[in-house]
Amino acid sequence: MAVGFVGLGVMGGPMAGHLLAAGNELVVWTRTPAKAEPLVASGATRAENLTELARACETVVVCVSRTEDVEAVVEGLRPGLQEGALIIDHSTIAPAAARALATSLAADGVSFLDAPVTGGSMGAKAGQLTVFCGGEPDVYQRAEPVMAAYSKRTALVGPSGAGQTMKVANQIAVGGALLGLCESLAFAQRAGLDLVQTRELLAGGAAGSWAFDNYGPKVLARDWTPGFSIANQRKDFGYAREAAGEVGAPIPGVDLVDSLLAVLDEEGHGDWTTAALFDLLARGVKPA
């Protein structure tokens, strides 16, 4: 049967494209129909609604934004889901919500794999994402061939919810790396250093990171197009606080970076890439 794909945004669109290029029969649905047009032109089928997509597909891949979005998608799919169907959710949602969805769907004979991704829009376009998976081993094995179309590495990290918990750990680290990049380059600019040379030299040494390699060029170009948006980063930080509260883990770095991104968000720039944090620090804005 066909593979269904729900959500064709900055991440989902390229991922679905890789599935189609790999020879899969692809059925797509998105809230914004225009986003499906390039895939339909390349051979995908557009479903009229989620229930129709579920009836046509044994495996459904979901890549939307928030917990409530995934819950709404699942409810839309549910009337058409067959016993034995598989949902692979690449959205970033609360770990507790992923566990609840897996339990609810299991009662209907449907498998659910929480499988958030990292690698950003660049990784999605290149088919080089890393996928953190939570679920049963047999469910992961069923999902592996599908995910291979757009990933460089997938890993089963534990039972349902563990994939989202690993994504929380990832986003905590991403926040710190983002602050390190932007704080460093904002300081270098104020001190009169050449930013191109600074970024090149620091990226090649102990200060180097994914952020220096991928967001450094955006800072130099003052290109604040996402990428990964401030609004999405702050959403993920909310899930991080929730998950950290459950286990009693302090995450002061998350609170600091979120307080800075909140300033840009409140200025109406929630759709800018997170690397725009440089702009704020270059202006001399300090944490509240």
Task: Note the pLDDT tens digit of each residue in 60-105.
Answer: 999 999 999 999 999 999 999 999 999 999 999 999 999 999 999 9
Q: Is the dihedral of CA 2, 137, 148, 12 positive or negative?
A: positive
Contact in structure between 149 and 22 (CB atoms under 8 Å): yes
Domain range list for the chain = 2-158, 165-282
**Tens digits of pLDDT across the chain (288 residues):** 799 999 999 999 999 999 999 999 999 999 999 999 999 999 999 999 999 999 999 999 999 999 999 999 999 999 999 999 999 999 999 999 999 999 999 999 999 999 999 998 889 999 999 999 999 999 999 999 999 999 999 999 999 999 999 999 999 999 999 999 999 999 999 999 999 999 999 999 999 999 999 999 999 999 999 878 999 999 999 999 999 999 999 999 999 999 999 999 999 999 999 999 999 999 999 887
Calpha distance 141→239 (Å, rounded): 27
* C-alpha 265, offset from chain centre: 19
- Selecting among 35, 152, 167, 218, the annotated active-site residue is 167
Contact in structure between 98 and 114 (CB atoms under 8 Å): yes
Query: What is the third-level CATH fold of 2-158?
Result: Rossmann fold (3.40.50)
User: For position 287, what pLDDT does the model report?
Assistant: 80
Calpha distance 150→153 (Å, rounded): 9
Q: Which residues contact 234 (CB under 8 A, 6 or more apart)?
A: 258, 261, 262, 265, 270
Q: Let me know if 167 is a catalytic residue.
A: yes
* C-alpha 264, offset from chain centre: 21
User: For position 273, what pLDDT does the model report?
Assistant: 96
Query: CB neighbours (10 Å) of residue 83?
Result: 7
Calpha distance 64→166 (Å, rounded): 18
Calpha distance 53→5 (Å, rounded): 8
User: For position 120, what pLDDT does the model report?
Assistant: 87
User: For position 227, what pLDDT does the model report?
Assistant: 79
Query: CB neighbours (10 Å) of residue 51?
Result: 17
Calpha distance 143→163 (Å, rounded): 14
Contact in structure between 52 and 21 (CB atoms under 8 Å): no
Instruction: Say yes or no: domain 165-282 is CATH 1.10.1040.10.
Output: yes
